[in-house]
Structures are given as structure tokens and as C-alpha cells.
Amino acid sequence: MPNADVKVPFVDLKAQYAAIKHEVGDAVSDVLQSCHFVGGPALENFETRFAEYLGAKHCVGVGNGTDAITLALRAAGIGRGDEVLVPANTFFATAEAVTNAGATPVFVDVDASTFHMDAPYAESAITSRTASILPVHLYGQAMDLRPILAIAQRHNLLVIEDCAQAHGAQMHGKTVGSSGRLTCFSFYPGKNLGAYGDGGAITTSDPALHQRLRLLRDHGSPVKYQHHEIGFNSRLDALQAAVLTVKLPYLDIWNAARHANATKLVELIRELPLVVPEIPGRLRHVFHLFVVRCTQRDKLVAFLTQHGIQAGIHYPVPLHLTPAYQALGAPGRGALPVAEQLASEILSLPMFPELNDDQISYIAEVLHDFVQIYQPEAPVQAFELAPLLS
């Protein structure tokens, strides 16, 4: 049952489902009647349509976004003995996938304005073992990869993109996922393009990588009972593919609504002592998350909760400080100062296509009340990066 105390949910998947439930029902029914649940026409149809939407040559559906990165690394021949540069402020899965591929994630500090990987810091982290850079298009904002690509070219490194939060985002007129590089997507239900369970995909323009990815996702097997290498069981199932095919034509509409809602909210809270997102061109940021910074973040979370507004923190612990990576020898506190400070200040406010004007106004009203009561200082927007720890 819905929580009567919640006036503004963090995300409202029920509202989205209500608008498309008949289409979803028909698509799921088709799969059920076909009894073709793994692979088959539904998956092939989605892979074709998603590749066309992005402007990519090839798309390979896989079990989830984490596997997408792991398989991309494996397909590229990156593994034991290799290092992969990973931003410290992202979801754990980005680094976890590197470890699962057998490589070592090297954590890189981030830009205080965009929260993306800091390019100069990334270059300073390169060693003789560095094989790849794994930038993340975080929170729905397409990252300007030109500095990273220049670094990669200078050092002969592969760039693999984590696009799990940037479905439909664009940079310089190109949709994220269309570069031809290995690009990895998640279709977790809360994503801008979300399945009704786990799911993921990888795009590439390289036909050899495309074929190797198809092999790796299915036990290294091109034909049943023929196994050419050790692979994975990571296939996007037909039911999820059918749901995603129904949702895909709505993605641009939903993204436009997110951008419009974010624009409205920013206008109402711009003068508060918070750091609010910049509103770039509509397609550059698709607002998977609406992240602000507040020096009294934990008090603000409690205040919002008290007033029926659900909020989230993405992400409360930088990856290098997680117990898992501390146990593997990651640098300690103080090594990545921007990511560490952001972790104590960032807060994700409700943001979804169905968010209405009354809800947006209420969020702004509660934020104004919080500022009047607690009078937080404006967060410092300039950081001095600590020297790289060897």
C-alpha cells in the first residue's frame, strides 16, 4: 500500500506503468504465447531498435548493466595485470565490473561542477599497467569526452563508456552510445529507460567485438554445446526486451519532461545557498537524477522526509573508501578530496517525468523553509586536488 506520509515520491514507476500498461500487456502476452523466453525475435527486435535509436551499428542485450561493463572489458582483452581508471563518485558496479573482469580499478577524482571524471587527475594516474579509461555519464548528463579521448590517444588507451544513467543524452549532437566505442547501458527499473527487472546492453561499431560479446554473454557458445571460451550466462531475456521495446518510443518524451521539470525546480530554488544543477541544452542532460549540494545535507534529508518528500544520496561513500576496496588496498581518506567532500554534501531530489507543478512547488517551498530554519552556508565550489598517491 502507498505510504500516506509521502507527498512526493522519489520516483513514480506506477504512474509510468499506468500510461502504457495496455501496450506492455500486449507485448508480454506475445512473448508468453510464443514461449520463446531466452533470445529469439523479441530480443533481436529490441537490439535492432535500440541500436537505431542511438545511431549505433551493433547492440548486444545482456543480463544487467554490471555485466555489460564486465563483458565489454573481457571482449576488449582487458583483465589480469591491467589497470582501468574509474571515477570515485559513481555507483559501486562501475568498479565492481572492472574487478570481476580480473583487472584493477584505479580511482580518479571528479570535477566539482559536473561530478564527472577529472581529466587532468586521470592523466596523472596513468601507469605502465593502465589499459583503459572508464568514464561515466553521471546523473543523466552527457560527459564531454574530448579531454579523456585526447589523453587516451596520447597514451594508447581504450575508452569504454558507462552510460547506465544517460539513456538518450547527447553531446555535440551525438547520442551517448553512438560513438562506436564499447558503451554500456543498464535497464534497471528506475532508469530513464527501465525494464521490469534487470537488464543491460552494450553497443559498438566493431563487428569482431560484436560477435565476441554475443559469444561471451552465452557461455562462450556460438552454437548449442559448442563452447569456444569461458563465458557468462548473461542474456537479456525476451520479456524484458519486449517491455523495453514498448518503452523506447516514449524515451525522448519522458526525457523532455524530466528536463522541463528540472528547469522549473532550478528556477524556484536558484537563490538558495545550495549548489543546484546547471541546465544545459535539453538533450545534453536527461536528468536521471537531480542532484544538489548542501553543507547540512543530513539535516536536509531528515527535514525533507519529515515533510513527506523522498530523497536519495548518490553516493554517500566514494568508491575508494568502501570497505570492499579498502580491503584491496585502495587509497585512504584524503586521497580524492573532491569526491570525498561531495559525498558529504550531495543529495538527490525527486525527479521523474510525471512530477507535476504542485509537487515541484512543494519541494521548493520545503527547501526554502529549511534554509530559513537552519541557514546553511553555500557549499564551496572550488577544490584543490591533492597530489596523486602512488
Residues forming the active site: 191
Q: Which residues touch 152 (CB under 8 Å, ≥6 apart)?
A: 133, 158, 159
C-alpha grid cell, residue 312: 536519495
Strand residues in the chain grouped as ranges (E): 58-62, 83-87, 104-108, 130-133, 158-159, 161-162, 170-171, 174-175, 183-186, 200-204, 290-293, 346-349
C-alpha grid cell, residue 101: 573482469
| C-alpha of 167 from chain center | 9
List, in sequence order, every residue forming a beta bridge with 203; answer none if it has no partner.
Answer: 59, 183
The DSSP line for 252-320 is HHHHHHHHHHHHHHHHHHTTSSSB------TTTB--SSEEEE-TTHHHHHHHHHHTTB--B-S-SS-GG
132 three-state secondary structure? strand
Burial code of 87-103, b = ≥16 C-beta within 10 A, e = fewer? bbbbbebbbbbbbbbeb
117 three-state secondary structure? strand
Number of C-beta neighbours around residue 28 at 10 A: 18
Decide: 43 and 236 in contact? Cβ < 8 Å: yes
Q: Which residues touch 147 (CB under 8 Å, ≥6 apart)?
A: 119
Distances (CA, A) of 47 to 41, 72, 204, 248: 10, 16, 12, 11
Cis peptide before 315 (omega within 30 of 0): yes
State the Cα–Cα distance between residues 111 and 127, nearest whole angstrom.
21
